[in-house]
Amino acid sequence: MKKLLNTLYVTQHDVYLALDGDNVIARCDDETLMRLPLHNLEGIITFGYIGASPALMGACAEKGIAFTFLTMNGRFLANVVGLEKGNVLLRKRQYRLSDSEEGSFAIARNILIGKFHNSRWVLERALRDHSLRIDAEQVRHSAHQIAKATDLLREVQTLSHLRGIEGESAARYFAVYDELILQNKEAFTFDGRNRRPPLDRVNALLSFTYALLMHDISAALCAVGLDPFVGFLHRDRPGRHSLALDLMEEFRAPLADRFVLTLINNRQVEPGDFVQKENGAVIMKDEARRTVLTAWQERKQDQITHPFLKEKIPWGLVPHAQALLLTRHLRDDLNEYPPFLWK
Angle between helices 101-130 and 242-251 (to 10 degrees): 30
Distance CA 216, CA 17 (A): 20
Neighbours of 276 (CB within 10 A): 14
Cis peptide upstream of residue 197 (ω within 30 degrees of 0): yes
Distance CA 305, CA 308 (A): 9
Give the pLDDT score at 232: 94
- Give the chain's residues under pLDDT 70: 1-6, 49, 72-76, 83-86
Concatenating the DSSP letter of every residue in 154-182 gives TT--SHHHHHHHHHHHHHHHHHTGGGG--
Give the pLDDT score at 85: 59
Burial of 54 (0-12, 13-18, 19+ CB in 10 A): exposed
Give the pLDDT score at 120: 95
pTM of the model: 0.82
With beta carbons less than 8 A apart as the criterion, state whether 108 and 162 touch. Answer: yes
- The C-alpha angle 232, 238, 239, rounded to 5 degrees, equals 95
Give the pLDDT score at 339: 95
Give the pLDDT score at 157: 87
Distance CA 209, CA 17 (A): 23
With beta carbons less than 8 A apart as the criterion, state whether 174 and 202 touch. Answer: no
Burial of 46 (0-12, 13-18, 19+ CB in 10 A): buried
Distance CA 1, CA 55 (A): 29
122-144 confidence digits (pLDDT tens)? 999 999 989 888 889 999 999 99
The rounded mean pLDDT for the chain is 88
Give the pLDDT score at 296: 92
Give the pLDDT score at 3: 44
